[in-house]
């Protein structure tokens, strides 16, 4: 007998996009929120810099945010979606405040703002200094705990979308007891985050395996712009360290941090004379990559020693302490940094209301391709994207709630094998291949080699259908890696994060 659950709305993912959407959905609807790990482990919790938003309606300022977003994205952003992003920022920041989120404030009670790369003005709100994501997420989890209509399932992983005639009907979940649960819903929202787990070093947790994107792809949903993987210029460098990398926020450059090569020479002037350290991330990461190559080294430095210790401890408490724990006093020492995987600009293709190419299936946050980032995301626009499009999805669901009813579905007979395989070698190889051949600088021959190596694993994994989180994470990782490679091969020109050496 198959276990079946039914909700009005199913949300997959416990980051900002998932929780904000759940909290914005009417409390008269029954929401099931599924998170494959502990709810505190998502990438939103790690966001340092902040959330870009013009909170006071000023057409010139909003237009400037729009222009900065397009400029960072090499002007291939979706214009309509980008207008929505910047224009609906204020309204959604208000909603966040009403849900109990507390941003850092000046003595007069106004919100403090900072600057990051690619922004022409100080429009980035932050919380807890450089601990914005953790603060926002804690406030929202507190609000979630008060909501009786939302059932949260942690450590329960969705593995397949149930659909019929291009209409989503639910998902299959592996529950905590390692059993199969068929979860049905009138609306299904994918908010499953990014893909950092397919690279050796990422600012994301290793659990970011592109699950939602791979699952949607298996269900025939359109996926776009996967070649635009953003590398953050300043991951904290520790020799031979792999896995989750501590981020040195772009806000450190926003407050005057200077990049220097291993010889102590400032170099950004060679790459972007006008914007220097505050050029968008694609430009800065590619500049650092080149500088590391030219100086035969695997890192550069970020110098913020001209600021006082008092200022640094107050403005960047998390970064200050983390560096100190690793032997670097940032008020006296240069910070060793190197680019690491940070954010996927593309993903499950959506329109401005979060609709995917499948009826009743929405995608929001990092797993979605709303088009707002174009070829490279502007700093601190990712949390903004989560709330603006999550808010839109919730508003639409609220408007349609009277049409919801019991879901009739003939449950598929999935045949699973039950094995304890952990596929460790394959995961290690995926990360090696992606970090070597599908990194900041790309060439056709490297991409073809990566495709060949990973297709072999994909074909082998497809032959078995193991009912386990390990299996699904691994096949999801190979799937998204191949989507990145194929879309990178198809884009012959260099644009934004996609830099073709050939
Ligand atoms: C940062 O603080 O540098 C990260 C913020 C972002 O990814 O937009």
Distance 373 CA to ligand 1 centre (A): 14
Please check whether residue 343 is in contact with residue 195, taking contact to mean a CB–CB distance below 8 angstroms. Answer: no
Per-residue pLDDT at 112 exceeds 90: yes
Q: How far is the CA of 453 from the centre of ligand 1 (A)?
A: 32
pLDDT at position 449: 98
Q: What share of the chain is helix, strand, coil (3-state, %, to 5)?
A: 40, 20, 40
Ligand 1 site, residue 49, Cβ cutoff 6 A: yes
pLDDT tens-digit series, residues 358-375: 999 999 999 999 999 999
Contacts for 460 with CB less than 8 Å, ≥ 6 apart: none
Please indicate whether residue 159, judged by its CB atom, sits closer than 6 Å to ligand 1: no
Give the model's pLDDT for residue 223: 98
Q: How confident is the model at residue 147 (pLDDT cuts 50, 70, 90)?
A: very high
Interior angle at CA 176, CA 174 and CA 177, nearest 5: 90
* Contact in structure between 497 and 76 (CB atoms under 8 Å): no
Residues with catalytic roles: 281
Task: Say how many Å lie between the CA of residue 49 and the centre of ligand 1.
Answer: 5
Q: What are the helix and strand counts (H, E) for the chain? A: 15, 21
**Which ligand 1 atom is the nearest neighbour of the CA of 377?**
8
**Is the minimum distance from the CB of 380 to ligand 1 under 6 angstroms?**
yes
304-327 pLDDT, tens digit per residue, is 999 999 999 999 999 999 999 999
The pLDDT of residue 338 is: 98
Tens of pLDDT, residues 412-468: 888 888 888 999 999 999 999 999 999 999 999 999 999 999 999 999 999 999 999
How far is the centre of ligand 1, averaged over its atoms, from the C-alpha of 163 (Å)? 36
Q: What is the pLDDT of residue 167?
A: 97
| Cross-strand bridge partners of residue 113 | 125
> The pTM is what?
0.96
Whether the Cβ atoms of residue 377 and residue 345 lie closer than 8 Å to each other: yes
Output the CA 206–ligand 1 centroid distance in Å: 18
CA distance 53 to 132: 14
Does the pLDDT value for residue 1 go beyond 80? no
Res 63: pLDDT: 97
What pLDDT sits at residue 482? 98
Q: Is the pLDDT of residue 289 over 80?
A: yes
Q: 204 in ligand 1 pocket by Cβ < 6 Å? A: no
Q: Which atom of ligand 1 is nearest to the CA of 381?
A: 8
- Give yes or no for a contact between 299 and 262, defined as CB atoms under 8 angstroms apart: yes
Distance, CA of 386 to CA of 366 (rounded, Å):
8
Listed in sequence order, the residues at least 6 apart from 396 whose beta carbon sits closer than 8 Å to its beta carbon are 353, 354
Q: Is the CB of 117 under 6 A from ligand 1?
A: no
pLDDT at res. 42: 87
- Report the distance separating Cα 344 and Cα 463, nearest Å: 28
CA 427 to mean position of chain CA atoms: 20
Average pLDDT, integer, range 22-43: 96
Residue 251: per-residue pLDDT: 92
Pairing of strands 361-363, 180-190: parallel
Residue nearest to atom 6 of ligand 1 (CA): 380
Examine the pLDDT at 89 and tell me if it is beyond 80: yes
Tell me if 229 CB under 6 Å of ligand 1. Answer: no
């Amino acid at each position: 007998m198959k276990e079946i659950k039914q909700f009005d709305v199913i949300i997959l993912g416990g980051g900002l996009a998932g929780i904000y959407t759940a909290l914005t959905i009417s409390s008269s609807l029954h929401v099931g929120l599924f998170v494959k790990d502990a709810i505190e482990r998502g990438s939103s919790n790690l966001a340092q810099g902040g959330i870009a938003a013009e909170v006071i309606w000023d057409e010139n300022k909003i237009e400037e945010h729009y222009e900065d977003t397009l400029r960072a994205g090499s002007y291939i952003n979706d214009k309509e979606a980008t207008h929505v992003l910047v224009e609906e920022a204020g309204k959604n920041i208000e909603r966040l405040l009403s849900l109990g989120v507390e941003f850092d404030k000046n003595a007069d009670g106004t919100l403090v703002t900072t600057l990051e790369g690619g922004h022409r003005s100080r429009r980035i709100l932050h919380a807890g200094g450089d601990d914005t994501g953790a603060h926002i997420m804690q406030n929202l989890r507190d609000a979630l705990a008060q909501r009786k209509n939302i059932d949260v399932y942690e450590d329960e992983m969705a593995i397949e979308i149930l659909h019929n005639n291009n209409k989503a009907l639910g998902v299959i979940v592996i529950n905590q007891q390692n059993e199969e649960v068929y979860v049905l819903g009138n609306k299904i929202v994918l908010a499953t985050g990014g893909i950092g787990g397919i690279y050796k070093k990422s600012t994301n947790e290793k659990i970011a395996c592109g699950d939602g994107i791979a699952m949607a792809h298996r269900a025939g949903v359109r996926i776009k712009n996967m070649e635009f993987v953003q590398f953050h210029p300043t991951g904290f460098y520790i020799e031979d360290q792999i896995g989750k990398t501590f981020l040195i926020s772009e806000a450190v450059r926003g407050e005057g941090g200077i990049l220097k090569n291993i010889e102590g020479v400032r170099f950004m002037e060679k790459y972007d004379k006008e914007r220097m350290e505050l050029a968008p991330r694609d430009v800065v990461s590619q500049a650092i990559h080149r500088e590391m190559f030219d100086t035969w080294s695997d890192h550069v430095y970020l110098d913020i020693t001209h600021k006082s210790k008092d200022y640094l401890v107050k403005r960047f408490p998390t970064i200050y302490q983390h560096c100190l724990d690793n032997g670097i006093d940032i008020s006296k020492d240069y910070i060793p940094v190197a680019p690491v995987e940070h954010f996927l600009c593309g993903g499950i293709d959506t329109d401005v209301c979060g609709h995917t190419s499948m009826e009743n299936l929405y995608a929001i946050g990092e797993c979605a391709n709303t088009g707002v980032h174009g070829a490279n995301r502007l700093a601190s626009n990712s949390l903004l994207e989560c709330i603006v499009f999550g808010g839109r999805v919730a508003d639409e669901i609220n408007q349609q709630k009277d049409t919801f009813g019991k879901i009739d579905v003939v449950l598929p007979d999935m045949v699973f094998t039950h094995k304890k395989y952990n596929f460790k070698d394959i995961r290690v190889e995926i990360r090696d291949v992606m970090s070597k051949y599908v990194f900041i600088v790309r060439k056709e021959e490297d991409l073809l080699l990566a495709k060949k190596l990973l297709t072999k694993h994909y074909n082998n994994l497809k032959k078995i259908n193991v009912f386990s989180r390990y299996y699904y994470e691994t096949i999801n990782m190979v799937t998204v890696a191949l989507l990145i490679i194929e879309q990178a091969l198809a884009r012959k020109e260099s644009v934004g994060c996609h830099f073709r050496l050939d």
